[in-house]
Amino acid sequence: MKFMLDIVTVTAISAGAFFFLAGTVGLLRFPDTLTRLHALTKADNLGLGLVVLGLLPHAGSLRGGFKLVCVWLLALLAGATVSQLIARAALASEGSGSFTVDGPQP
């Protein structure tokens, strides 16, 4: 049983680290603000979520595990909302210098 939980932990945390890598590389290499935002949210949702999933077996108590999930849900809520705000501000002020927007313009 413990071995199974260890397997779950290692797999989940490795997958979470992979998504962090993907998000960071996207943030560094993608051409404009909106695509970088898209990459960033993957690190937020999946990266943190998988890390939390991997840490749940080691939480120690039900309350600890509940707190871990709460941290993830909060990060999800805040990250999703702020991404929306940044994206709208980016679209609203194209070409003003505050944001870089490449590609086909609406």
Partner 1 sequence: MTIASALEMALAAVVLGMAIWTVVARDSFAAVVGFVAYGLLLALVWVRLDAVDVALVEAAISGGLGGVLLLGAAARTAAAESRPPAEHPAVRAAAALLAAAVAAALAATVFLLPDPAPTLAPAAAANAASTGLGNPVTNVLMAFRAMDTLLEKVVLLLALVGLWSLARDRFWGGHPGPRHRADPHGTLAFLARLLPPIGVVVGVYVLWAGANHPGGAFQGGTILAAMWLLALMAGLTDTPAISSRRLRLVLVAGPSVFLAVGLGGLCFGAAFLAYPAAYAKPLIVGIEIAMTLTIAATLGLLLVGAPERSAE
Partner 2 sequence: MPEFMTATLGFILAMLALGLMRVLRGPADADRMMAAQLIGTAGIASLLLLGTVTGVPATTDVALTLALLATFASIAFIKKGGASAPESTEGG
Q: CB within 8 A of 11, min separation 6: which ones?
A: 54
Helix (H, G, I), strand (E, B) or coil at 17: helix
Three-class SS of residue 82? helix
Residue 91 CA to residue 74 CA, distance in Å, equals 26
CB of 81 vs partner 1, minimal distance in Å: 4
CB of 104 to partner 2, least distance (A): 19
Residues making contact with partner 2 (CB under 8 A): 6, 9-10, 13-14, 16-17, 20-21, 23-25, 27-28, 33, 36-37, 40, 43-44, 47-48, 51-52, 55, 58-60, 64, 67-68, 70-71, 74-75, 78-79, 81-82, 85-86, 88-90, 92-93, 96-100
